[in-house]
Amino acid sequence: MVPFAGWSMPIQYKDSIMESTVNCRQNGSIFDVSHMCGFSLKGKDCIPFLEKLVIADVAALAPGTGTLTVFTNEKGGAIDDSVITKVQNDHMYIVVNAGCRDKDLAHIEEHMKAFKAKGGDVSWHIHDERSLLALQGPLSASALQHLTKDDLSKLYFGEFRITDINGAHCFITRTGYTGEDGFEISVPSENAVDLAKAILEKSEGKIRLTGLGARDSLRLEAGLCLYGNDMEQHITPVEAGLSWAIGKRRKAEGGFLGAEVILKQLAEGPKIRLVGFTSTGPPPRSHSEIQDEKGTNIGEITSGGFSPCLKKNIAMGYVKSGSHKAGTKAKILVRGKAYDGVVTKKPFVPTKYYKPS
């Protein structure tokens, strides 16, 4: 167990990080991610309110669907990344990172006060009475189907439903942070342990409890950003490779914090870009220097490690535009020594999201 964002969190259970990473992709994993902050925005103006703060086209989301988005600041930098879901046109369900909870909630509250002062109809509820379980991997759906009457084969990637699971009133989203098929299940805290036990039982021991160590390996293999490493207050969504998350209407109209900066970057191209790397030698870590073949600094690694599934080093980092194309050779400095690296397309491991065929 380790301290993490004010919580005590498991790095690993009885199996190694290597074993549990591979088991998630072969069978499945349950992560207790109850430290993350879920909240609801309600009111007839909750969509225009949220659109002032995020880059997504929230209005265009169909009820029961969600998307990855970014909360931006006045300079276009990322305050946090988040999964937002439209429950109904007057109800949004949002999950933000535990480490960003205090600043996110303060930021939202400040803007909400101003919005309401002008007559806007929006209120919120922070779901501190609920826990969050992430069920990930190929056996997720079959194990969970035993515990609900809802037909999960009709729930696709990014879709949301409120339903009873194992007798508890749950919010369920077909999403995750591993690149595998899976679900994030918001469950009343008094039912969380029973639900986790029931899923483990229904999988006959193949789905295992999994800690932060494997969670980090899995998201890195899937090429997914970790806020605080690959995204920061001074990094824009365009630089982070999340331009796809900026709604088409938002690209045309703006209307969110930092839109001028972001729309300019979309038009002209950003000066730096987040790319994937594979490398030789010891695994690169956060802040490892990246050089071109001549030894000139072109950027730095933000996340790196040994991939348990690919059995090789993988990493992500920011490089100057022009050095970002797949196949570009580079040198990565680890403990003062230069090792060969090459820019590699993300995700490193193909994603297996459950989508309509």
- Write the CB contacts of 88 (distance below 8 Å, at least 6 apart in sequence): 63
DSSP state of 285: -
Please state the residue numbers annotated as binding site for substrate.
Answer: 184
Do the Cβ atoms of 208 and 196 come closer than 8 Å? no
Q: Which residue has the tokens 């820019």?
A: 343
User: Is beta strand 28-32 parallel, antiparallel or unpaired with respect to 207-209?
Assistant: parallel
Phi, psi angle pair for 329, to nearest 5°: -85, 145
> What is the distance in angstroms between the CA of the first residue and the CA of the last residue of the chain?
41
C-alpha to C-alpha distance for 81 and 78, rounded to whole angstroms: 7
Q: Which two tokens stand for residue 357?
A: 């065929």
* Two tokens, residue 139: 């056996």
Q: Can you give the C-alpha Rg of the chain in angstroms?
A: 21
The strand ranges marked E within the chain are 2-4, 7-9, 28-32, 37-42, 65-72, 78-88, 91-96, 123-126, 130-136, 160-165, 168-173, 182-188, 207-209, 272-279, 289-291, 297-307, 312-320, 329-334, 337-344
Q: In which order are the strands placed within the sheet that holds 207-209?
A: 160-165, 168-173, 182-188, 130-136, 28-32, 207-209
Indicate the annotated binding residues.
184
Rounded CA-CA distance 156/355 in Å is: 5
Give the Cα separation of 171 and 84 in Å (integer): 13
